[in-house]
Every structure is written in structure tokens, then in C-alpha cells.
Amino acid sequence: MDVTSILLANHFDILTAVEQEFSPLSLPFDLVPALHKMRDAIRPMQPSRLKACRKIVSMVNNGDLQIIKDDESINIVDDECIKTSTLPRSWFNLLAIAAKHNGIIIDFLPKRTLSGENIILPDGTDSHFINCRQLLETLMSQHIIDCEEYEVIINKLGTEGIAAPIGPTPIEGTPLIIDHTILVMISESGMLARIIHIERNQPTPRHFFLG
């Protein structure tokens, strides 16, 4: 029985009868992980994450954040480079967007393969990437947050908080390009609100996220 037939049999309350009639049943080896994944997908969102998402929506509505799409990207590397790289095309799209806006991408760094091996970034792209820890260190060095806030954010970032800072220090006025997954993490940690607060006097939003 596959996952669908198991769920249907349970839904119609005949799973026990099927087991008794056709025992022993043959079940797929990935049944339990699949059921766990389905259960997690329908669980209510954590209150802190829901609050972070609402803040993002509010910032977009207020014009503090600008949504950009993949089709706004431009080609800065040839197709052959993309084909031979272990990085996905979406990563190159982010890189193209950063080049277009002369910005910096906040990403999970270092990039790793599924087997855990570090991925070497294409030549000349390092200057466009920082990790969450580097963003935090920048806020601290510029006295945008104090020591108490620093410790709180470190804890909220989890493994990203204990990672070594990677990438250049963003200078004032540098646009930040953030994938929506990391954007929620930064919002939840409290860093996004601090960044937006000091940018409110700008005529147009300088920070973007990939929607």
C-alpha cells in the first residue's frame, strides 16, 4: 500500500479491516517520513513567525520593501557557467539582480552541496554576498543595535547566529537583496525592523526581496 491508499483507508475507517483481511501489509519504506512531512505542513505557523510575516507585509504596504521578480534579472554570466555550476539558476538570478541594483545579497554561507561540501562561488561574485551574521556585525559596529539586542538576535538566529561572519561590510546606502526565506528569519530576529527604521528618510525603498 502506498501513502495515498493508507490515507484513504484510514479516512473511510477500513484500515483495520484491510489489515486483518490482507495481513501482512507491505508498506513503503518512506511512509513514516512522508506522513511526518504532511503533518508538519498543515501545522499552524508559530506565533513568532506569523508576527514576522505580518511585519513584512506591513513594510511592503508602507513602501519600505520592494518585491522583485525573477524576470527583472539580467544575464551577467553565460549559460555555460550556469550549466557547469552546482548552484541553481535561481542563485544566478539573485546575483544578476544584485549586479543590476549594485546591491548585496544576504544568503546562507558558505554554500554547500547536499553532501555537505563547500561550493566555490564563481570568480568575482564574493563581493555581492554576506551571511546573516555579517549583517548583525555590521549593525553592531555602526551602533544601530546595542549589546543587549545583539545577544537577543544571536539567539534568535540559531545556527546562523553562531556562524562566522562572511562577506564584505555593507556600506551605507547599499541595497540589500533578500530571498523570502531569509527575509522571514531576519524579520523574526528583529534585524529587519532596525534596518528599515534607519532608512525611513529615503525617498524610495532600497531593500528588496525575491517574491
pTM of the model: 0.68
Bin 46: left if φ > 0, else alpha if -120 < ψ < 50, else beta. Answer: beta
β-bridge partners, 130: 106
HSE, side-chain direction, 13 A CA sphere, residue 56: 26
Q: Looking at per-residue confidence, does 69 or 95 come out higher?
A: 95
β-bridge partners, 185: none
Strand order in the sheet with 104-106: 65-68, 207-210, 176-179, 104-106, 129-130
Residue 205 has pLDDT above 70, yes or no: no
Q: What pLDDT shows up at residue 45?
A: 64
Q: Is the dihedral of CA 104, 105, 107, 110 positive or negative?
A: negative
Closest to 171 (Cα-Cα) out of 127, 210, 119, 201: 127
Q: What pLDDT shows up at residue 163?
A: 92
Instruction: Return phi, psi of residue 9, to 5°.
Output: -65, -40
Tens digit of pLDDT for each residue in 70-103? 555 555 555 666 666 777 777 777 788 888 888 8
Contacts of 2-9 spanning 24+ positions with Cβ under 8 A: 2/28, 3/28, 3/31, 3/34, 3/35, 6/31
Q: What pLDDT shows up at residue 191?
A: 92
d(CA 182, CA 91): 14
% pLDDT > 90, the chain: 21
Q: What is the band of 136 on the pLDDT scale with cuts at 50, 70, 90?
A: very high
